Amino acid sequence: MPKFPVACALSLAVALGIYPPQAAAIKVTRDNAAPRTAVPPRQSEQPAPVPANLPKLSVGQIVDRNVSARGGLSAWRAVQSMTITGKLDAGGKKDTLLPYTLQVKRPNKQRLAIEFAGHTALQVFDGAHGWKLRPFLNRADPEPYSPEELKKALSEQGFEGPIIDYAAKGNKVELEGTEMLEGKGTYRLKVTTREGHEQHVWIDGSTFLEAKIESNPRRFDGQMRKVETYLRDYRKVQGLTVPFVQETHVARVAGAHSMTIDKLVLNAKIDDSAFARPPSLTAQEMPAQPRMVKLEGTAGSQTAPAVSKP
């Protein structure tokens, strides 16, 4: 699976009004597992030397090996829907992991539901229009996507991302060079979509799976910031190779934020009504006015794959 077909975990939590944590009653799960090695900060924009055993390949050969490593073109074309459940890291002084359900259906329909403080935030796109329902900000009515959000949703690249079947999508892939990433030699690709949007993708030279994606800057806290997403914990799902952890780093924002997968189901039937405009909330369904709370001392259990905080 490529990057989630929604904004990064941090900007998504901000968009839906659940970051920073600001409700009176929060169900929090904490990661009690041994932490993974944190992603080291990049000390320089200059690439480090790459091991001599990294194969010297053309961009076409790299793409072919990436497609094969991820399950193959025909297998991805056969996927018509995905239903994903997992945890969204909303940040805070203590790790706050919120349950989410993501439903995606071809050609470009998406429905994301996030549970928080006994209520559910929604982000819905029906292929042409998008809405957000944000009860945590005391907003009872669905709000339309901003022009920026709508533009991004309309340009999504499907379940498989921009590299698989790139020519048919009108995309261009170039080999920018090689680079060390977390101690591994990688190929750095530049992907330009038919709309002119650019992504930089680091392909692991041993597995040929995506190791990192750098997208166009996103607006966060009133500023455009560079966003890097690290893809980890790849697993096989019905012949496809999928990252179960996506860890996002936003420039000049402390810490990493992640989305993890607990369960992924392919080709389950999803009725189109799931992507309709969400209903307004009644007065009884609206939460009390949100207020800041402290999360220290809250206990819970961790069920999603372990994700470290740098």
- What CATH number is attached to the domain comprising 207? 2.50.20.10
Query: Does position 50 have pLDDT exceeding 50, yes or no?
Result: yes
Out of 19-33, 93-107, 195-209, 244-258, least confident range: 19-33
Query: Does position 237 have pLDDT exceeding 80, yes or no?
Result: yes
Higher model confidence: residue 68 or residue 42? 68
Instruction: Give the residue-averaged pLDDT of 228-241.
Output: 94
Query: Considering the domain boundaries, does residue 287 fall inside one?
Result: no
Query: Considering the domain boundaries, does residue 290 fall inside one?
Result: no
Query: Considering the domain boundaries, does residue 232 fall inside one?
Result: yes
Containing domain of residue 87, as a range? 9-36+52-275
Query: Considering the domain boundaries, does residue 1 fall inside one?
Result: no
Higher model confidence: residue 202 or residue 88? 202
Instruction: Give the residue-averaged pLDDT of 163-174.
Output: 92
Query: Does position 190 have pLDDT exceeding 90, yes or no?
Result: yes
Query: Does position 143 have pLDDT exceeding 70, yes or no?
Result: yes
Out of 37-46, 106-115, 259-268, 288-297, least confident range: 288-297
Q: What percent of the chain has pLDDT over 70?
A: 68
Higher model confidence: residue 231 or residue 119? 231
Q: How many domains does the chain have?
A: 1
3-state secondary structure the chain: CCCCCCCCHHHHHHHCCCCCCCCCCCCCCCCCCCCCCCCCCCCCCCCCCCCCCCCCCCHHHHHHHHHHHCCCHHHHHCCCEEEEEEEEECCCCCCCEEEEEEEEECCCEEEEEEEECCEEEEEEECCCCEEEECHHHCCCCCEECCHHHHHHHHCCCCCCCCCCCCCCCCCEEEEEEEEEECCEEEEEEEEECCCCCEEEEEEECCCCCEEEEEEEEEEECCEEEEEEEEEEEEEEECCEEEEEEEEEEECCCCCCEEEEEEEEEECCCCCHHHHCCCCCCCCCCCCCCCCCCCCCCCCCCCCCCCCCCC
Measured in degrees and rounded to the nearest 5, phi and psi for residue 253 equal -120, 125
Query: Does position 72 have pLDDT exceeding 50, yes or no?
Result: yes
Instruction: Give the residue-averaged pLDDT of 26-54.
Output: 47
Query: Considering the domain boundaries, does residue 170 fall inside one?
Result: yes
Query: Considering the domain boundaries, does residue 21 fall inside one?
Result: yes
Query: Does position 29 have pLDDT exceeding 70, yes or no?
Result: no
Query: Does position 18 have pLDDT exceeding 80, yes or no?
Result: no
What's the confidence (pLDDT) of residue 70? Answer: 96
Instruction: Give the residue-averaged pLDDT of 32-43.
Output: 43
Out of 62-66, 89-93, 241-245, least confident range: 89-93
Query: Does position 154 have pLDDT exceeding 70, yes or no?
Result: yes
Query: Does position 146 have pLDDT exceeding 50, yes or no?
Result: yes
What's the confidence (pLDDT) of residue 240? Answer: 95
Instruction: Give the residue-averaged pLDDT of 185-208.
Output: 92
Query: Does position 40 have pLDDT exceeding 60, yes or no?
Result: no
Residue 26's pLDDT band (boundaries 50, 70, 90)?
very low
Please give the mean pLDDT across all residues of the chain.
77
Query: Considering the domain boundaries, does residue 291 fall inside one?
Result: no
Out of 43-57, 95-109, 294-308, least confident range: 294-308
Query: Does position 6 have pLDDT exceeding 60, yes or no?
Result: no
Query: Considering the domain boundaries, does residue 230 fall inside one?
Result: yes
Whole-prediction pTM value?
A: 0.76
